[in-house]
Structure 1
């Protein structure tokens, strides 16, 4: 059974069809990349799945249950984690405390955020930090971390929600090339081991073809190609978009 099923998702802005009848599914442990040129509709599609935007039509199912139109908080509580282009961490807290906060939120203990978190779920937080290679920095202030380490911390925070689905919006943005590959291989290992479905957008095509199991290609809001890396590389429509003169405007 697929973790995520998207059926007929559509969204318009001012008469412009940003996403046009898009359908796909993501299986447990699968890395699915959503790519396309600027304006293809990637962000709009991604944000409808994550709850930032309501769709005009279509449905989104998580483990067979509808999450269409729910807000980000409600979707997160149903088992969806998310990372963003710009890291979202508490710079004044330690690395460990950031992960503890995520676990507290997942356990429904948001009301206790004002209390010191030092002893709460520290073991669970350290286990996650160990998995992303940050345990040695657990007691450091988050604000002094290198950018690549912040990206790995954000991954640990997303995993603190014990997600069934992980949404990653341009996860390697701003990272050095070697760090990009390392972060996404780490994500792949953790997703495979935990059976987490991963849907990600990414501009670095080397990363996309290196780590994805399948690739979806959007253009002008429509899904024009789907397949593994070799199939997408050989697809004439995809080659025209990225290498030819096809117009790409019309989405968000």
Structure 2
């Protein structure tokens, strides 16, 4: 069956879906769109956000649902155990995955955009280079409007950015504490949806070279973006993200 994944290429939620497809050996075509322009790909599928997985006549429109779908049809090891979420323990894989999705993903997005939008020339050039064909031209001409729309959509303010940073710090500390007993993965001995979700959603803060799409280039990055990434790379949880990405690259 042919699979098509509709994405914003550098989106960490889209990275989560890409990784699940790779993990399960499910070949796919990626149709990538820039922010706001992604509506051209999402709305025909009856959605407004990405990722969206199209599997024949079936459409799966949420990153966690995509992970579950891949578990059902793929050939890799299961990402989720059979235990239902309402029966899970607080440190169970499903509970970790849900918390990362609900708290880490939005906080990372806000923290990254809060820095990027302060540097419109750098961010415009990155987005233009990430698009193809007509998208690059439209982004070059309309970046000012896109910048304002992103800031308004995510409610980017200094206060919200500070709260997001605190949420990220808390989750990074909890991940480090969980791994401190020597376990290789959050759930114990096996790679799971918890690890995949944490690594992909934290990816833009750590900028592993193996990330599944180009991220804002560090060699020309403004100082505050470099500091932000250095801060999170220099943590135990940041090391964990880098290891997971290196392992993923070695297996593909």
| TM-score under structure 1 length normalisation | 0.28
Q: Which has the higher strand share?
A: 1
Q: With structure 2 as the length reference, what TM-score do the two structures score?
A: 0.28
Bigger helix fraction? 2
Structure with the larger RCO, 1 or 2 (CA within 8 Å, 6+ apart): 1
